[in-house]
Structures are given as structure tokens and as C-alpha cells.
């Protein structure tokens, strides 16, 4: 009887040790992205999660999903995995947006309607007219340039800015910055461009 | 003697409300106003229920934690309102948010800024058939003199069939300017079309989280 009890005790001890080992392994294996997101959740501010594997970006606040943006990109997954790991290891409180730049846009209010709306609302044209960002760039501080495109044809007003676009691309090439080309739906582009201008922190997942 | 004190208290509160001092007393006074059926004094919009109309309200409490059920998200850049859960969009509606414009009364120097506030809020009042009590800026904007009579300020048509309050005088309500939906043209409130507003109203509960970004 006494021997049985000792066996049970030893068995129990072994089981407990296995459980502890599994828990500690699980804790260690928590991805760097999870850790970064954990920090951002507590801050209570809006942040952006870029998931290269699922091809979706999620705007969140305190862990609550505000909006999801499905996207397409041709980048090799090995590159994005390395990029995500590097950025999350380096920026443990989330990557910082350095520049948000509108490269080309399409007017959302027709010229003929604009005047009438301005008269009715007592607002200026610049307040009413919004440009759908057909191409824009989000540059991560000391990280990649996310170059967004939609299928909408840009407005003539923005043609001159294409020169600016090439210049930026050249500068990024010179500085060795990685550029990821991402395709978005027009509505999503509008929303993401607006949200990005508040410079939220960014978490990369792979 | 007690009656005299009570009447004095009522008169003081009513006077403060009429003088536009409700803001200083915050939500406490707004709650009293509503329970008496008087106008709601808010930061931007002043709304009151129509006589006999149902009103749901609670003392305003800032939202804490995370929503467990559906919640409302307002995207100011796209002028879209979503009723959603973590993984499902239950309602997507085109809305109109604040213009961000400024109004200056050249006669008095008073200034107003028409922004929809960003952050996390909670639904704290729900009104059917709301009446709008036009604030001073509504007259200044139209170049009209500010009326002395309260009745000249009331408008029972402008706000649609329902109003959902989310604090400090900001509401989700209806509109008569359907053509403006999808554009940032309001004075800070969020306008919705009739059908979407009705769907949202009957799925909304007091205390529901509202995220505005």
C-alpha cells in the first residue's frame, strides 16, 4: 500500500513537471507579433495589424476590430516573414509610420455638383472635395515602404505628381528600403489612407 | 417652506438650462432635462423628445473594457457606419459626419468648430421622433437673428425618426438632406438615411459601444 502511494506520488510529480514544461514552452512560443499587439491593446489607441499570410489588414482599438482591409500582393512569403519578424523584434511596442504620402487621387465629387453642395452647406470646395487615393504610400520608420494601389484611374490634377512618385521610388531604391506593392479596393484605400494619417502603430504578422 | 425651496430649485435649473449652462453641469443636468421632458443641452446639438414620445436613457458612463456583443463603428474618412461584431458586419450604412469647418459670428466673435469627435463612446440615450432645438450657430450660419422665443428654435422635421445619443450633445440621427449622405457636411452629428437609421435603432441598446475614428 505504502509502495503504491509512493508510485502515485512519483507519477503525479512527473505529470506536474510535464504540464509546467508544456506551459512554459507555450509561453515562449508566443509570437513576437502577439507580444507587440498585447502592448498596443493596453495603450487603448488605434493600431494597424498587417497580416501578410492572411492578406488582410485590421484596424483595431484595444483589441476590438474596427475595420478589415483585404489586399493582394505578389511578394514572396519568405521575404515578408523575415520582414515581419525583424520589425516586431526591433519595435516591441509596434512599428511607427514615418510618412503617409498621397501619390495620385481621383475626385469623388463631380465639378458640377461641387458648387451646389458648397452653396447649400456654406462650406468651401476644399472641405467638400475628397480625393480617393488611387495610389499612396505608407513608409515605416527604418522599415519598408508599403505602396498601395487601386484600380481607379487617377484624376488629371494628379498627373504631375507621378513625377513625385518616381522620385520617391528612386529615393527608396537608393536608400535600400524595401517596397511592398499592395492592391486594395477603392473604399478600403480611402479608409486606410485616412486612418494612416493619424499615424497609428503597426504590427506585422506572418 | 419645502415647496418654496423646491420651486426655487426648479426655477434655477430651468434658468441655467435656458442660458445654455448645461454644458458646465455636464451629463447630470442633461439627464435631469430629459427626465423632465425639457430640451437636451449638448455640446453641439440640442435634441428633445416629441411630446409623449418614448425615450430610453441612462446616466452617462464612459465605456470600460471591450464590447461583448455588437458595437457601432463610424469611419469618418469614408463616411460609413458599421454595426458589427468582432467577425461579422451586421449593417453597413453610408453616413455623413462633421465637416471640420469653422463658423465665426462676426457680430459677437463667437466661434464654432464642426467636428465629429473621435474615440470610444457608449449609447446613452435613444429617442423616437426627436425634435431639434436649434442652437445659436444654426441662425448665425443662415445670417438670421437669434430668436428670443424658445418656440422659434424648435424644429420637428430635421432629425428624422430616431436619434441615438452618444454623449456631449452628439447624436446619430436622420436627415432631410439625402443627397449629402456620404459627404462630410454635418455640424458634428452623424446623419443616416431613413432605412438604415431604423435598422440601426432597433438593434441598438443603451450602453452599446461606439468607436469613431
Give the residue extent of every domain in chain A. Answer: 1-29, 31-205
**Residue of A91, A53, A59 whose CA lies nearest to A73:** A53
pLDDT over 90 for what percent of chain A? 23
The verdict on domain A31-205 having CATH code 3.40.50 is: no
User: Are B175 and B79 in contact, with CB atoms under 8 Å apart?
Assistant: no
Contacts of A11 (CB under 8 A, 6+ apart): none
pLDDT at A134: 87
> Which chain A positions have a beta carbon within 8 Å of B99's beta carbon?
121, 123, 127
b/e string for B63-72 if b means 16 or more Cβ within 10 A?
A: beeebeebbb
pLDDT at B68: 86
Pairing of strands A46-51, A56-61: antiparallel
Using CA coordinates, name the residue in chain A closest to B72.
A66
The 10s digit of each residue's pLDDT in B77-90 is 999 999 999 999 99
Tell me the count of A-B CB pairs closer than 8 A: 67
Find residues 33-52 of chain A whose CB sits inside 8 Å of chain B. 44, 46
Beginning with the edge strand found earlier in the chain, give each strand of the sheet holding B154-155 in spatial order: B47-49, B130-133, B154-155
ipTM: 0.77
Nearest to A64 among B77, B100, B211 (CB): B211
Please identify, in words, the CATH class of the domain defined by B48-212: mainly beta
> Which chain B positions have a beta carbon within 8 Å of A195's beta carbon?
77, 213
Q: Touching check for B62 and chain A: CB below 8 Å?
A: no
SS3 B15: helix
pLDDT over 90 for what percent of chain B? 33
Nearest to A46 among B76, B80, B213 (CB): B213
Residue A200 pLDDT exceeds 50: yes
Q: Do A59 and B213 touch (CB under 8 A)?
A: yes
Residue B117 pLDDT exceeds 60: yes
Q: Touching check for A65 and chain B: CB below 8 Å?
A: yes
Q: Tell me, what DSSP letter sits at residue B186?
A: B
Residue B38 pLDDT exceeds 50: no
Min Cα separation B85/chain A (Å): 8
Residue B35 pLDDT exceeds 50: no
Residue B155 pLDDT exceeds 50: yes
Amino acid at each position: 500500500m505504502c509502495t503504491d502511494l509512493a508510485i502515485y506520488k512519483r507519477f503525479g510529480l512527473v505529470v506536474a513537471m510535464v504540464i509546467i514544461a508544456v506551459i512554459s514552452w507555450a509561453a515562449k512560443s508566443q509570437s513576437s507579433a502577439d507580444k507587440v499587439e498585447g502592448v498596443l491593446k493596453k495603450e487603448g489607441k488605434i493600431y494597424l495589424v498587417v497580416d501578410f499570410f492572411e492578406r488582410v489588414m485590421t484596424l483595431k482599438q484595444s483589441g476590438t476590430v474596427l475595420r478589415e482591409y483585404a489586399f493582394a500582393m505578389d511578394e514572396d512569403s519568405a521575404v515578408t516573414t523575415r520582414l515581419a519578424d525583424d520589425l516586431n523584434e526591433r519595435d516591441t511596442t509596434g512599428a511607427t509610420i514615418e510618412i503617409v504620402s498621397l501619390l495620385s487621387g481621383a475626385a469623388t465629387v463631380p465639378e458640377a455638383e461641387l458648387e451646389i453642395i458648397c452653396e447649400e452647406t456654406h462650406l468651401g470646395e476644399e472641405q467638400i472635395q475628397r480625393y480617393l487615393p488611387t495610389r499612396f504610400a505608407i513608409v515605416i520608420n527604418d522599415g519598408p515602404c508599403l505602396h498601395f494601389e487601386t484600380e481607379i484611374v487617377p484624376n488629371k490634377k494628379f498627373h504631375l505628381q507621378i513625377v513625385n512618385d518616381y522620385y520617391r521610388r528612386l529615393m527608396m531604391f537608393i536608400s535600400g528600403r524595401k517596397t511592398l506593392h499592395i492592391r486594395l479596393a477603392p473604399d478600403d484605400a480611402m479608409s486606410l489612407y485616412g486612418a494612416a494619417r493619424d499615424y497609428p502603430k503597426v504590427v506585422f504578422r506572418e | 417652506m419645502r415647496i418654496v425651496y423646491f420651486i426655487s430649485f426648479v426655477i434655477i435649473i430651468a434658468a441655467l438650462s435656458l442660458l445654455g449652462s448645461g454644458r458646465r453641469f455636464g451629463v447630470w443636468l442633461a439627464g435631469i432635462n430629459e427626465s423632465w421632458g425639457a430640451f437636451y443641452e449638448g455640446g453641439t446639438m440640442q435634441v428633445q423628445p416629441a411630446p409623449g414620445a418614448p425615450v430610453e436613457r441612462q446616466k452617462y458612463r464612459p465605456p470600460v473594457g471591450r464590447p461583448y456583443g455588437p458595437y457601432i463603428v463610424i469611419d469618418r474618412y469614408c463616411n460609413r457606419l458599421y454595426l458589427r461584431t468582432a467577425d461579422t458586419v451586421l449593417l453597413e450604412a453610408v453616413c455623413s459626419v462633421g465637416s471640420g469647418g469653422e463658423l465665426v459670428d462676426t457680430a459677437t466673435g463667437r466661434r464654432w468648430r464642426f467636428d465629429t469627435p473621435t474615440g470610444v463612446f457608449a449609447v446613452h440615450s435613444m429617442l423616437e421622433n426627436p425634435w431639434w432645438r436649434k442652437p445659436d450657430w444654426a441662425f448665425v450660419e443662415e445670417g438670421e437673428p437669434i430668436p428670443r422665443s424658445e418656440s422659434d428654435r424648435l424644429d420637428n422635421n430635421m432629425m428624422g425618426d430616431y436619434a441615438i445619443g452618444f454623449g456631449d450633445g452628439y447624436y446619430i440621427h436622420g436627415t432631410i438632406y439625402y443627397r449629402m449622405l456620404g459627404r462630410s457636411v454635418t455640424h458634428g452629428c452623424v446623419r443616416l438615411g431613413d432605412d438604415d437609421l431604423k435598422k440601426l435603432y432597433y438593434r441598438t441598446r443603451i450602453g452599446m459601444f461606439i468607436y469613431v475614428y
